[in-house]
């Protein structure tokens, strides 16, 4: 019996009309801004699609690019295509629901093989699509040809003051919205900082304890996955006010330098964008996970 395949569905609110969204998900020039580097699409039923480049997560799979076929097409309403991932014929669907003042875009991805980590990838893609439609530029793209080793570094500007970002990082109620629904935090040095995650062996995983805390400026906590052995990981958040916004610097280090870090790099990239969304929207998120989890 083969490994169980998974599915996910994610919805994001987009403040524009269906024609612009449909153009963004079918126009090769637009796709090359938020989804990949190079795109080819024969926009008809059973037409071929091909997406490639360093910003395309497919570079981390054995195929190195997406080569699929359109299996459903309805202008300004939906697009579905096949996407082979490590030999598995997965399927991706975009559904546009016009709500009048805005649209909901639902992305579904079915028949995902194990360890593909597509939830992180789609969160990154959807935030970059949202930014393209709103600001005519992507928010924060991930270059899959440059997976950090030894030390993971992420940097992002948030259009909010440091006290807003600091609260999002240290207030349990806020963390439960953007980071983990089971998060808990006692914002003092030595206080707990947990997410409720468990590794494959059922042991607690991720953050454990706050090691350093400087109000509105810095947060450091340890990080541990029991299945990988004690590694002494540390995660550091540093906040710097630049005018009326905040430069957020993240560092994750202390793990085995030989470790392949796609999961950490892609995961932190997605969380940085989620933090940005949360802080800039007054404590809400633009997206909703309908089906699936962060392990998909």
The tokens describing 15, both together, are 């403040």
Q: Rounded to an integer, what is the distance from CA 237 to the centroid of its chain?
A: 18
Rounded CA-CA distance 234/223 in Å is: 6
Structural class in CATH, domain 6-135: alpha beta
Angle between helices 162-170 and 262-280 (to 10 degrees): 120
Per CATH, the number for 151-259 is 3.30.530.20
Give CATH 3.30.530.20 domain extents, the chain: 6-135, 151-259
Q: pTM for the whole thing?
A: 0.95
Rounded CA-CA distance 285/273 in Å is: 10
In tens digits, the chain (296 residues) has pLDDT values of: 456 789 999 999 999 999 999 999 999 999 999 999 999 999 999 999 999 999 999 999 999 999 999 999 999 999 999 999 999 999 999 999 999 999 999 999 999 999 999 999 999 999 999 999 999 999 999 999 999 999 999 999 999 999 999 999 999 999 999 999 999 999 999 999 999 888 777 788 889 999 999 999 999 999 987 666 666 799 999 999 999 999 999 999 998 888 899 999 999 999 999 999 999 999 999 999 999 987 89
The strand pairing partners of 6, in sequence order, are: 112
């Amino acid at each position: 019996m083969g490994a169980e395949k998974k599915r996910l569905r994610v919805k994001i609110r987009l403040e524009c009309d269906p024609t612009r969204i449909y153009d963004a998900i079918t126009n090769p020039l637009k796709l090359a801004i938020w989804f990949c580097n190079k795109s080819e699409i024969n926009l008809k039923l059973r037409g071929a699609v091909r997406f490639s480049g360093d910003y395309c997560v497919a570079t981390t799979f054995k195929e190195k690019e997406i080569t699929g076929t359109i299996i459903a097409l309805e202008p300004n309403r939906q697009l579905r295509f096949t996407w082979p991932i490590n030999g598995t014929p997965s399927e991706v669907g975009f559904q546009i629901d016009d709500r009048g003042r805005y649209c909901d875009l639902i992305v579904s991805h079915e028949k995902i093989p194990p360890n593909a980590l597509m939830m992180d990838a789609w969160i990154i893609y959807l935030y970059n699509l949202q930014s393209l439609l709103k600001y005519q530029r992507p928010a924060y793209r991930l270059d899959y040809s440059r997976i950090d080793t030894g030390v993971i570094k992420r940097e992002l500007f948030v259009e909010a003051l440091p006290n807003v970002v600091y609260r999002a990082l240290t207030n349990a109620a806020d963390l439960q919205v953007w980071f983990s629904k089971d998060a808990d935090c006692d914002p003092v040095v030595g206080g707990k900082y947990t997410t409720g995650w468990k590794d494959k062996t059922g042991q607690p995983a991720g953050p454990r304890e706050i090691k350093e805390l400087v109000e509105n400026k810095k947060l450091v906590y340890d990080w541990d996955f029991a299945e990988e052995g004690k590694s002494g990981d540390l995660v550091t958040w540093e906040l710097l006010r630049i005018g009326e916004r905040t430069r957020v610097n993240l560092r994750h280090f202390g793990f085995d330098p030989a470790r392949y870090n796609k999961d950490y790099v892609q995961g932190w990239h997605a969380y940085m964008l989620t933090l940005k969304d949360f802080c800039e929207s007054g404590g809400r998120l633009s997206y909703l996970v309908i089906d699936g989890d962060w392990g998909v």
